[in-house]
Amino acid sequence: MMTEVLLQQLNNSDINWMIANGSRQQLASNTVLIRQQSSVNSLYIVLDGSLTATVKSNSESVLAGAFSALEDDSDLEQEIGRFSSGDVLGETSFLNLSPAATAVKATEKSTVLVLPRQKLLGKLRQDADFACRFYRAIAILLQNRFDRLIQQFIGRQNLKISPLQDIPLLFEELSDSDVDWIVRYSRVQEIAADTILIRANRPVDTLYLLLRGTASVSFNENRSSSFASVFSMLENLEESDESPESEIALLTKGEIIGEMALIDTRLSAYSFKALGKLQVLAINKQQLSIELQQNPAMGTRFLRAIAMLVSARMQALIGRVGYGRSTYQIGETLSQNCQYADEIDVEMMDSLSLGGARFDWMLKRLKILI
């Protein structure tokens, strides 16, 4: 269960540190804990009660207007999630420092544990073992939330997710020694068209960095696929008949495939298929998992990057369905008081440039010409 993720991933020492360094905050019903597009300076862990996350867009967003009509909601406000004991809120306070994509409000009397951003960042920098466990837990919680958003919006409205260019973000977080390990223990592969790299409800053995070509991503809502259905091929049954999937995105150069298998023992809800010939950098999941366990510093960097990727994907999905920050429309006058969804973040661009340079350095060592 989601509410048990923190208890499953953290140890008693971690929990005791949170209790000692956090403070309990009581919330009356209808209290707004986080305001949309506001800065978040604390991480919140729900102890009891119930909270809801909503997003509200300005009336000029065409896609938001379409969703408003579909939902019969003239206020252009949409509930996108509910949170209960064990959930974590405010992750942007230490992952990417971006404004909150949603507003969070208590729906009944609730209690949250408040962890100040600076205290948490200090602990994460000083204690690599804690950081590994913590970032893993956050990534799992965010992935669970992302899966629910996919079910809520993508399956129903047939929308597609825009790719995020994962690799520059990942390599910005990694160190040169981490990249050196990848060079030594990865292999370049050519993948034939129509090959299934990862199939939903199957174990994931390999992570892939997509170097050339296009792959499709499909979502399978049946995460409890029976053991018998996995072996349906023995009866010459088409797996697509057993587990219908919906294509939600197309991936191109710069995307990562299969990274969630490093942190979540559940079977993947996503299938990845080569739409043409692909060139990938393949990394054995078990070998990488062992290295991350034996090298907590590398584990911290890698798991933090995964948590950041999931957070970015979730915020992009919220923006994709027409809610959140305003999107610039051709012909309109830019407002100094408005922060646009596609506005360039100078600090992020600097980070991605560093990640891109580190990735290019790795390709040169592998003697790959892209």
Q: Is the pLDDT of residue 160 over 80?
A: no
Summarised one tens digit per residue, pLDDT across range 134-146 is 999 999 999 999 8
Band of pLDDT at residue 154, cut at 50, 70 and 90: low
Q: Which residue has the higher pLDDT, 147 or 64?
A: 147
What whole-number distance in Å separates Cα of residue 45 and Cα of residue 107? 16
Question: Percent of the chain scored above 90 by pLDDT?
Answer: 48
Mean pLDDT of the residues in the chain: 81
Residue bearing the bigger pLDDT, 209 or 320:
209
**pLDDT of amino acid 139:** 94
Contact 262, 310 (CB under 8 A): no
User: 314 pLDDT band (50/70/90 cuts)?
Assistant: confident
Confidence of residue 148 (pLDDT cuts 50, 70, 90): confident
- Kind of pairing, strands 196-198 and 206-212? unpaired
Give the per-residue pLDDT at 150.
85
Looking at the predicted structure, is the pLDDT value of residue 241 above 50?
A: no
Q: Between 46 and 154, whose confidence is greater?
A: 46
- Per-residue model confidence as pLDDT tens digits over 65-113: 545 555 555 456 788 889 999 999 999 888 887 888 889 999 999 999 9
Confidence band for 345, pLDDT divided at 50, 70 and 90: very low
Kind plus residue range of the DSSP H or E element containing 207 = strand 206-212
pLDDT in tens, 320-344: 665 654 444 434 444 444 444 444 4
Structure tokens at 5: 């993720």
Residue 319 has pLDDT above 90, yes or no: no
The answer to whether the CB of 43 falls within 8 A of the CB of 97 is no
367 — pLDDT class (breaks 50, 70, 90): confident
pLDDT at residue 98, as a whole number = 82
Given a contact cutoff of 8 angstroms between Cβ atoms, the answer to whether 34 and 91 are in contact is no
The alpha carbons of the chain give a radius of gyration, in whole angstroms, of 21
Domains of the chain: 2-124 (2.60.120.10), 166-325+342-365 (2.60.120.10)
pLDDT, residue 364, reads 80
**Rounded to whole angstroms, how far apart are CA atoms 183 and 169?**
18
Q: What share of the chain is helix, strand, coil (3-state, %, to 5)?
A: 45, 25, 35
Instruction: Tell me whether residue 144 is exposed, middle or buried, using C-beta atoms within 10 angstroms of its C-beta: 0 to 12, 13 to 18, 19 or more.
Output: middle
**Which pLDDT band holds residue 158 (cuts at 50, 70, 90)?**
low
No. of helices (H) and no. of strands (E), the chain: 14, 16
237: confidence class by pLDDT, cuts 50, 70, 90: very low
